[in-house]
Amino acid sequence: MIDLHTHSLLSDGSLLPSELAQRAYVKGIKVLAITDHVDHSNIDHVVPRIVRACEELNKYWAIKVIPGVELTHLAPEAIRDLAKKTRALGAKLVLVHGETIAEPVPLGTNMAALKAEIDILAHPGLITPEEVDLAKARSISLEITARKGHSLTNGHVAQMAIKAGASLVFNTDSHDPEDLLEIEGAKKILLGAGLNPGQIERVFQDAYRLAEKIL
């Protein structure tokens, strides 16, 4: 299993990157992305530290760890430039905190994110057909999430993505040890989102393809 959306204590998670990686490895996760929340206030502090942590982890550990970010609660107009800056600082995976119904994310975030150089639109809420079509056209994955609150629109996201043929990935959005899941737990959430076994397998395959492209 691959998990491309997790948080360490470099933002609002509770674990050091090394403990996050070890706990993920024990759960059977083969590739982990550490994607701490960033905006203009902390990007220069957080991204280099994630990059350094992942470099050290990848020297010695069996699990592969990808340095990433989750651009969070930005003005839509700022997303494109900050996404570019994260790449310049060494981030290999860029997520944007989508328009989840669980938080007051600025309207227009989804569309601005899908026009930027990102990899995953996280928990995109009540995403529109136009936005899903753009995600497909730009090869940006849409997230099915295990995160409480954000997961309330999983069924909608899955239905829209399958209809349009857009890529889906499953992530835990882990902040604490108990948030990490083994593959059977992930399958149950995907079934609950309305996916059949064949579609679930494609979700996992899409995550592997994305990880392979980065690694």
pLDDT digits (tens, 9 = 90+) for 47-65: 999 999 999 999 999 999 9
pLDDT digits (tens, 9 = 90+) for 126-177: 999 999 999 999 999 999 999 999 999 999 999 999 999 999 999 999 999 9
How many percent of the chain have pLDDT more than 90? 100
* Residue 119 pLDDT: 98
Q: How many domains does the chain have?
A: 1
* Residue 84 pLDDT: 98
Range of the domain at 6: 2-214
This prediction's pTM = 0.98
The CATH number that applies at residue 187 is 3.20.20.140
* Residue 190 pLDDT: 98
Question: 3-state SS of the chain?
Answer: CEEEEECCCCCCCCCCHHHHHHHHHHCCCCEEEEEEEECCCCHHHHHHHHHHHHHHHHHHCCCEEEEEEEECCCCHHHHHHHHHHHHHCCCCEEEEECCCCCCCCCCCHHHHHHCCCCCEEECCCCCCHHHHHHHHHCCCEEEEECCCCHHHHHHHHHHHHHHHCCCEEEECCECCHHHCCCHHHHHHHHHHCCCCHHHHHHHHHHHHHHHHHHC
